[in-house]
Structure 1
């Protein structure tokens, strides 16, 4: 029989369909034929497995570097191949046999069969995460299966058929094939041609009616042809080019930090039509926001492991997305480590603002924060933010010659510096502060009951996670609970820390900006500030904002904002619009985990590429990118309805606020905005 080489997948399908009509049996090679790998070298999958074994051994008090474990695995696997060659033509090895020997050597008296099962499960998960079925071939298998053809999957590999079935099941191939055959079970491989008589005898096949398809000219072409089979060999130039590109980025990453992130991005790319039919908004979530948030979450897990933090609380509402990304990333990325328990905490600035005043009253920093949004003007805005009843406070205001509508913000017309001094004197008035404490005490008690219910006070230290930017939620939370003896130490992590207002750091309260932090200057990372609303809206939970905590008998009640008004409906429309963007983030999370686990890099390795990505997407984006992903409406409960003086806040539009025509017709717009941004960042 003859064998033929096809240099494109369409050519293979055309020839295969022509020959399949005359054949009852069709066998396929598995790797690089039915399945392609995202990586160029299959041995790279062994590296995260070695790191996993090292972490697993450390839990038993055994100190072995992952490099020494990988070296031991290679040596023992080679010994097994040499022993096999004494009896069989093919120098094959069997994974369960040599891996058991490797683990026995490492774990000694701590070894048990469960260890082998855990390591095998992790290796199969890593293998699966980097395998993609070739869609045209998969569709053809479905067609052949419907025609009643006998289909077999055959592979020369150290993984036995039992393990290959797991990989085939995960990719949807198992239900289409009659059986899966591996050289690891019999040590009779396609490479020598010994596998084909074995398969014929085992399944009673007719070589005259048998077509074999693979990618190796010897194993899948010459050998089956020698045995009388028809054979087709795929030599796909486009796939070779893709692998060469991955190889180049991975090799460059060893000496050039920028390419570490570029290699990550390449390994995450959708293959074989995985993103077909997706919207541009989905692709932006997958390709841009997905890696940024994945890197953020990876750093959180690293920090929890380094500091021994056993509980991590994601602040709503952006914490909803962070938590889902964590759940998709961390189990694979940090397998073998003791991971913290994660909790989604219902908090917000509005809900915590009043509760934070129950012990110390309305502090000057808290009052100053209330006037940071330019739409806030007078004491009515303060009362709205901190949820004060205005009527009982009127005598105190009158005593200091203030009215509820007296202008207290320098950004508005009618401001008098004397009124600012009087407001500071009001904050020093004990009667006023007593009234503040009285009004906010019930909210503070309800907050404490809620935190007790979720186990917040059961730990010496916890990690708390938010989107950014001033750390206001963490500030108010700490102010509301710091008087308790069992108040844990708060390790705060935010996507970006602008630090436009001094954060009250002390031994029990700290804040770190992970992607951007003004205390750690980086011009590229600072471009995160171009579109803060984008990150907030893209990560927002699909439920209304929490407005407050209320006592309910011996318990508590969470009060959420009514979403039935015009603002609520606009928010729902925004959520629906961003739904594909958010789905792209979620779909990117497991791909990020698999790629980062394989590369073995962390956030410091990815920073040069991340800064390039942020600068390109936010400071110098294409017009269609801005029009696609910028927010349509943004709810800020802190922001009042007053209009500040234009000369105080400026009227020049930011890049992401410009119209389509400005973006398209002004060639220097992006450069001018970037230079203005650079000056502003350097000044602060």
Structure 2
């Protein structure tokens, strides 16, 4: 893990420190709100909703005035007060604002009490900016006078109360210039008053503030030296917008704020963390750092704090974090425990699904071995035997299948039978799994993981597979220790763990609930996992002396650089959070408050559902390992789906299989129309029916024919028409001796423009590197059309719901196909369901025959062409 320098200086303030140190300014001028003090809410006015709740609780506000209602009333009262003063100007005090509130609702006799209630809320939710506090301390050290210049409705007494903090001792002698005091704000004359009263020339004053106009543009034009202490930059504003939309699509986030802790300071602390980034703006490394700091940073900081808290509560002193995530997670947990003062230590430990799966197998019947085999993804028989430490000669019945990919139940069943049909091989399997278990137990003993009364794992989670399999391995080894698990989230697969009587707790989601949180995270977990993983291969076993054996590192140098940047962002946010925990007694925890979990879940879920175009461009090029004994590496956004993006609708994204795309929303992010439609659907702003064709639903259907000349159904997918007027279907099949497939594209009478058909198959037991494609007129001319007609070019008229094009997979692939995925991109013009409408004329006969001969030649060479011609001649003779 690359360590990030723990700098306490905000990047925007480096010049300020330098100018103070060399006395380049006579006076340091500071804005107050969002500069010296910031609020623990997303926006300053968001405290009004919290104030409304406090007033109701105190009996100063009627029950019918909701938080959102009060927020709007308070905002409108301020506008009314400012615009109703005529010659007195627009600058008002807090008392003026409260006088504009309705008498029938708020008793004006309690004016002082109402104003004081607002001041108390402001005091509670304002936080001293530690970076600015550092600037104040620097100015005091070098005897540089400080003034405060603020556009505010607070009185001098109010400001004194709000600024009375130990960190701001350096402001005790600071002169304060208030807009209400002088009747002018910073953009309209307050700075001129400052210069006149202090008898200073503009260049003698250095001003720091957050407002682009009032604190930067206006004083700069006057000649003051300025630093724009910007809170939110544009990319971060986009992130906040998607979170606000996701949380509450028809209103602001403020209406959902927690009345005790606001947003826990998360919005401002992310902004401060992003300001420390040193990467080039817009670069892949910068995007990854920002994703780590603004998305994963707060989520994993909350998770680590919860883990340490739960361990502290249960008296668990040592936690074990499975690698490869364990290196970063243990560091985060230890940082959280240290800053909170909890006696908890987290340690990395080498565990993996693959290793624990080997160690947990205790039955060696055909069904058990078959289940084990099917857990891996596209291993060849040779690779599988290697995993089981068997030589090919030991299983002679598999000698002809060594390079065959185990991609369907048929071949998996044959292999399972071959591995269990003789006592000799069964004994070898038992020895292999026993040895794997013994090496695992021996390793665990060397780490001390088996020394205590409990063994608690800390991981990202999902199905709790490692915990469950480890528990089985320990039971088989007769070790009386039941591992527990603390996870970021668990899905419905984790019910196996609960039914085994194992404790498995989830922070953001548990056992698949809340459904939206669990389903979104588990549907697209790969980038989250990659951002947390150490830069090493996955665990595939242990040596006899308990050293981990790791697989190869398959990621590119670019991906690893970006991954490190994401981890730097995660750690940078946690350091920022812990700074405020350390210096603010009573700083809110992210552990037990449901509102904290909801806020963090919203950050992660909205990022997964609506990644930005910049995030898509970076993470879409990342690769992901299968990590279960297989060497298969898959792109997060596979290359074959990039061409399909113009054809996809939002519902198509939901239909995609995990193997199609680990993160479907990344596909949407690269197309503005698809992204907008997907976002609207996810937010519930529009009905799903908007993206479905009207009337009875029609389906694209796939059937496959095997060598015994039997047709079988493979699957079906609803036909949709997207914002481009285009449609998409992807269907898969699995059978060890498939010859060809039929594709009923529109599922109804229609004229269809077939832009391309692509089939990715495993033939003769091997991956075919290049896909089979049909996209030119010549490609379609050679196909068989059942109850449909080729019209020429790439147009086909389908006469019935079952009308289909036949694709000769085996002849094109050079052998029988055992599994495959067929993708079609098309557009269609529906025709009458009565089938009485006039039919369009088919392509001319010569073009069809030429196309058929070309297909025969492509599949079988000159011999195939001759055989095809003979068949035609026989048919003609038979008809004469």
Indicate the TM-score class for this superposition, using the shorter chain for normalisation: 0.5 to 0.7
Superimposed CA distance per residue, residues 99-145 of structure 1 (whole angstroms, 9 cap, x where no aligned partner): xxxxxxxxxxxxxxxxxxxxxxxxxxxx999512279x689x69x99
| Equivalent residue in structure 2 for 1:474, among 467, 471, 475 | 467
Q: 1:599 offset after TM fit, Å?
A: 2.5
- Change in Cα spacing, 1:521 to 1:641, as seen in structure 2 (3 Å) is same
1:620 aligns with 2:616: no
For 1:394, the equivalent position in structure 2 comes to 395
| Equivalent residue in structure 2 for 1:315, among 290, 312, 322 | 322
The worse-fitting range, judged by mean Cα deviation, of 285-294 and 595-604 is 595-604
1:549 aligns with 2:548: no
Q: 1:582 offset after TM fit, Å?
A: 1.4
- Change in Cα spacing, 1:655 to 1:308, as seen in structure 2 (3 Å) is closer
Q: Mapping of 1:47-58 within 5 angstroms?
A: none
Partners of 1:272 and 1:313 in 2: CA distance: 31
- Change in Cα spacing, 1:508 to 1:291, as seen in structure 2 (3 Å) is same
| Equivalent residue in structure 2 for 1:410, among 390, 408, 417 | 408
For 2:344, the equivalent position in structure 1 comes to 340
For 1:514, the equivalent position in structure 2 comes to 507
Contact 1:290 1:584 in 2 (8 A): yes
Partners of 2:480 and 2:451 in 1: CA distance: 9
Per the normalisation by structure 1, the TM-score is 0.57
Contact 1:537 1:631 in 2 (8 A): no
For 1:582, the equivalent position in structure 2 comes to 567
Superimposed CA distance per residue, residues 394-416 of structure 1 (whole angstroms, 9 cap, x where no aligned partner): 16x67xx99656776537xxx37
For 2:313, the equivalent position in structure 1 comes to 306
Contact 1:282 1:583 in 2 (8 A): yes
| Equivalent residue in structure 2 for 1:269, among 268, 271, 296 | 271
- Change in Cα spacing, 1:519 to 1:254, as seen in structure 2 (3 Å) is closer
- Change in Cα spacing, 1:648 to 1:526, as seen in structure 2 (3 Å) is closer
- SS of aligned partner of 1:492: strand
Contact 1:264 1:599 in 2 (8 A): no
The worse-fitting range, judged by mean Cα deviation, of 480-489 and 315-324 is 480-489
Q: 1:601 offset after TM fit, Å?
A: 4.5
- Change in Cα spacing, 1:403 to 1:316, as seen in structure 2 (3 Å) is same
- SS of aligned partner of 1:304: helix
Aligned length: 497
Superimposed CA distance per residue, residues 462-509 of structure 1 (whole angstroms, 9 cap, x where no aligned partner): 210222333333333333322345443211133333444863546663
RMSD (Å), alpha carbons = 5.6
- SS of aligned partner of 1:270: helix
Q: 1:616 offset after TM fit, Å?
A: 2.3
- Change in Cα spacing, 1:340 to 1:579, as seen in structure 2 (3 Å) is same
- Change in Cα spacing, 1:641 to 1:549, as seen in structure 2 (3 Å) is closer
Q: 1:608 offset after TM fit, Å?
A: 2.9
Per the normalisation by structure 2, the TM-score is 0.46
Partners of 2:656 and 2:667 in 1: CA distance: 23
- SS of aligned partner of 1:457: coil
For 1:460, the equivalent position in structure 2 comes to 453
The structure whose residues are more often helix, as a share, is 1
Partners of 1:547 and 1:510 in 2: CA distance: 26
| Equivalent residue in structure 2 for 1:634, among 605, 619, 624 | 624
Higher relative contact order (CA 8 A, sep 6+): 1
Partners of 2:454 and 2:506 in 1: CA distance: 19
Superimposed CA distance per residue, residues 524-563 of structure 1 (whole angstroms, 9 cap, x where no aligned partner): 44211342110111001123333321113xxx33223344
For 1:656, the equivalent position in structure 2 comes to 664
- SS of aligned partner of 2:320: strand
- SS of aligned partner of 1:467: strand
1:330 aligns with 2:337: yes
- Change in Cα spacing, 1:605 to 1:668, as seen in structure 2 (3 Å) is closer
Contact 2:669 2:675 in 1 (8 A): no
Contact 2:301 2:574 in 1 (8 A): yes
Q: Mapping of 1:138-157 within 5 angstroms?
A: 150-151=143-144
Contact 1:305 1:339 in 2 (8 A): yes
Partners of 1:217 and 1:671 in 2: CA distance: 42
The worse-fitting range, judged by mean Cα deviation, of 581-590 and 276-285 is 276-285
- SS of aligned partner of 1:598: coil
For 1:598, the equivalent position in structure 2 comes to 587
Partners of 1:429 and 1:215 in 2: CA distance: 92
Unaligned runs of 5+ in 1: 1-8, 42-126, 169-179, 183-188, 191-211, 680-684
Partners of 2:128 and 2:420 in 1: CA distance: 58
Partners of 2:383 and 2:305 in 1: CA distance: 39
- Change in Cα spacing, 1:495 to 1:29, as seen in structure 2 (3 Å) is same
For 1:492, the equivalent position in structure 2 comes to 485
Partners of 2:462 and 2:621 in 1: CA distance: 18
For 2:748, the equivalent position in structure 1 comes to none
Contact 1:214 1:234 in 2 (8 A): no
When Rg is computed on C-alpha atoms for both structures, the one with the higher figure is 2
Superimposed CA distance per residue, residues 504-530 of structure 1 (whole angstroms, 9 cap, x where no aligned partner): 546663434433344424214421134
- SS of aligned partner of 1:339: coil
Partners of 2:507 and 2:127 in 1: CA distance: 30
Unaligned runs of 5+ in 2: 1-11, 42-125, 149-158, 181-189, 216-229, 232-251, 635-640, 642-654, 683-687, 693-880
For 2:36, the equivalent position in structure 1 comes to 36
Partners of 2:210 and 2:633 in 1: CA distance: 63
1:434 aligns with 2:427: yes
For 2:106, the equivalent position in structure 1 comes to none
Q: 1:40 offset after TM fit, Å?
A: 6.6
- Change in Cα spacing, 1:330 to 1:263, as seen in structure 2 (3 Å) is same
Q: Mapping of 1:75-224 within 5 angstroms?
A: 131-133=130-132, 150-151=143-144, 190=173
